[in-house]
Structure 1
Amino acid sequence: MATSSKLRSPVLPRRRLAEPFLLLLLLLLLAAVARPTAAADVVELTLLAGAQEKGAVCLDGSPPGYHLQRGFGSGEHSWLVFLEGGAWCNSIESCSRRKMGVYGSSKFMKAAEFNGILSNDQQLNSDFYNWNKVAIRYCDGASFSGDAEAQDKDGSTLHFRGLRIWEAVVDELMGKGLATAKQAILSGCSAGGLAALLHCNDFHARFPKEVSAKCLPDAGFFLDVEDLSGERHMWSVFNGTVHLQNVREVLSKDCLTKKDPTECFFPAELVKSITAPTLILNSAYDSWQIRNALAPDGSFPGQSWSSCKTDIRNCSSTQIQVFNGFRNKFVDDVEIVKDKKDWGLFIDSCFTHCQTPFNISWSSQASPVLGSKTVAEAVGDWYFERSYEVKEIDCEYPCNPTCSSQLPT
């Protein structure tokens, strides 16, 4: 249930406020609508042991890190592995800048707050609150999938070792109990959601057949679309990343025999080769993609799209029609999932990006609802197979009244 620290008591006449019965009624009402917000869990950073020896390092050569919160009770042998997102670097220049911050070096990483699907608050996260939960930090710039190196302009080495980071961190986690998991989910948000797709089969193959190991990419379904100027902006970003960082090992061998590696990096191709049960969670009006793939700066004259791409409520009917074209492409690309057994879809029409790691979008009064389910309810029903199937695609914006302006964008 949503909470607010700004909730105020109704203004009542003094004479009535003094009446004990009404006062008690008021207190009960406030208790019903406002549960105190649980403090986010702060989980310390763990650096990968022997990172240099394994060649599993961040862009600057520092060891990668992760945050591990141990499960308890009935969740002692259940694991959720969450891959952090944060876009990509597709040139020496962009990767050089990236290594000077948290997305390229563990030198800048600190403890992390666990919210949403990572929360241990049972009321907020009833299905997964007591699982072992791991957030793997993102410091390679290629969705945990590259394997190369290059010389920076200052003469130092840029390490493109995302694939080795993935393998080494998961191997370390296997030794910390992941190997004996009875239930497991690989998830991630944005570039981490794409990484969850890239590594889904590998993750699933690490467990015996009787283990329920599934994948949950959140906001990781990136489209190859033309921007407002007719350029394929996302293709350009992915093309630079794939070739600079040598992203091939994680791509479908069948796809690579027929198509360019860059095309094989897009989710529309990735899902064709994934055999593990997977739920695609995404907005069909993904706010990051609209801002950076459909209407990136420089793709339109002046400020004509600036207000619209900042907030969809500012868009004209003509601009909404352009967004609907993006949505239609999205729906076409996920069409293949409808016929995949054990797979799921939760494609809402809210202007948002990443919905699992935030309390408000995961499970609150402001959480998007599809098929009478919030995000958390849909994910739980899909994972535990509590309903026949969870395959929901929302109607066109602005049809869904549960889409809130409070959602993260």
Structure 2
Amino acid sequence: MANPMLRTWLLWWRKWGKKDWAIAAVGFAAVLFTFTLLIESPISADDPVELTLLRNAKDRGAFCLDGSLPGYHFEKGFGSGSNKWVIHIEGGGWCNTIESCSYRSRTALGSSKFMDRQVIFAGMLSRDPSQNPDFYNWNRIKIRYCDGASLAGHPEKNGTKLFFRGQLIWEAIMDELLSMGMAKAKQAFLTGCSAGGLATLIHCDDFRQLLPKYTTVKCLADAGFFLDEKDVGGHYTMRSFYQDVLLLQVLAPFSSI
């Protein structure tokens, strides 16, 4: 004896007319086509972006903590974004002692020797307009962070083999980007996250001064503001930590304090 449910389905199908079958066929084809697109489409519209080591770094004395050349990733803008620039400074905390900076110098946050040679741009650096409608066709740069002090260390002798040259890295990168066309930018946007956000706060005024008066300049520090407040133990931990960073690296913007 046939299954009652199967018999019901057979009776229902027999009542379908040509129009019903045509609609069903079109619907099935649409579903199949959509599924095929999902399977074959790439996960990201962005290709890996190569690491560029600073050409003028050695002459400028601009080195990562270990003495290697600093670098950045750059993807050229196009169309209406060809004269617009967005620059993102990588984050990654700080080092406040010789020991912590020495350890850091053996990582990607202190040496270009350990940096990924290619990265995928995402978020506000993506060239996918569905992911990044505002900046997808701008000139997009990611500055790699390798000095341990938010690109602000001053080149004083420190009695070690470490290089505290963050300020010189900033200046050398800016010079290189200006020579690549940023000097004629219509719009320029400097941003960074965490330690990169603090670097954005430190260098925003200088960034404005480097560019023509007609350039619209904006800066955004993403999670780069750290409150000078007591922690749960009643101590000014962040104040003490930053004082150590400042004294160790003689941060250029605060060297007169």
Asked whether the two chains share a fold, i.e. TM above 0.5, the reply is yes
> Does the CA-based 8 Å contact 2:184-2:212 persist in structure 1?
no
Asked whether 1:85 is paired with 2:91, we answer yes
Q: Of 153, 172, 176, which residue of structure 2 is paired with 1:172?
A: 176
CA displacement at 1:166 relative to structure 2 = 0.1
Residue 67 of structure 2 aligns to a residue in which SS? coil
Aligned amino acid, residue 23 of structure 1: F
Q: Of 247, 250, 254, which residue of structure 1 is paired with 2:253?
A: 250
> Does the CA-based 8 Å contact 1:188-1:195 persist in structure 2?
yes
CA displacement at 1:28 relative to structure 2 = 8.5
CA displacement at 1:39 relative to structure 2 = 4.1
**Equivalent-residue separation in structure 1 for 2:250 and 2:196 (angstroms):** 18
**Equivalent-residue separation in structure 1 for 2:234 and 2:179 (angstroms):** 49
> CA offsets, 1:111-149, max 9 Å, x none?
222100000001111111010011111000000001034
Structure 2-normalised TM-score?
Answer: 0.83
Q: Which has the higher helix share?
A: 2
Structure with the bigger RCO (C-alpha within 8 Å, sep 6+) is 2
Give the equivalent residue in structure 2 for 1:350: none
Give the equivalent residue in structure 2 for 1:228: 232
Give identity over the alignment, percent: 50
Q: How does 1:164-203 map to 2 (within 5 A)?
A: 164-203=168-207
Asked whether 1:118 is paired with 2:125, we answer yes
Asked whether 1:133 is paired with 2:140, we answer yes
What is the root-mean-square deviation of aligned Cα atoms in Å? 2.7
Give the equivalent residue in structure 2 for 1:20: 25
Aligned length: 235
> Does the CA-based 8 Å contact 1:41-1:119 persist in structure 2?
no
**Equivalent-residue separation in structure 2 for 1:26 and 1:245 (angstroms):** 61
> CA offsets, 1:286-345, max 9 Å, x none?
xxxxxxxxxxxxxxxxxxxxxxxxxxxxxxxxxxxxxxxxxxxxxxxxxxxxxxxxxxxx
> Does the CA-based 8 Å contact 1:149-1:158 persist in structure 2?
no
CA displacement at 1:236 relative to structure 2 = 1.9
Aligned amino acid, residue 70 of structure 2: P
Give the equivalent residue in structure 2 for 1:212: 216
> CA offsets, 1:224-273, max 9 Å, x none?
222221122211221110111001x324x9xx7xxxx5xxxxxxxxxxxx
Give the equivalent residue in structure 2 for 1:150: 158
**Equivalent-residue separation in structure 1 for 2:189 and 2:69 (angstroms):** 24
Q: Of 241, 244, 250, which residue of structure 2 is paired with 1:240?
A: 244
**Equivalent-residue separation in structure 2 for 1:85 and 1:186 (angstroms):** 13
Gapped runs of 5+ residues in structure 2?
1-8, 14-20
Residue 46 of structure 1 aligns to a residue in which SS? strand
CA displacement at 1:86 relative to structure 2 = 0.4
Asked whether 1:162 is paired with 2:170, we answer no
**Equivalent-residue separation in structure 1 for 2:240 and 2:77 (angstroms):** 41
Aligned amino acid, residue 228 of structure 2: D
**Equivalent-residue separation in structure 1 for 2:114 and 2:84 (angstroms):** 30
**Equivalent-residue separation in structure 2 for 1:121 and 1:151 (angstroms):** 47
Give the equivalent residue in structure 2 for 1:376: none
Gapped runs of 5+ residues in structure 1?
1-12, 262-409
Give the equivalent residue in structure 2 for 1:293: none
Q: Decide whether aligned partners of structure 1 residues 190 and 22 sit closer, same or farther in structure 2, where only a CA change above 3 A counts.
A: same
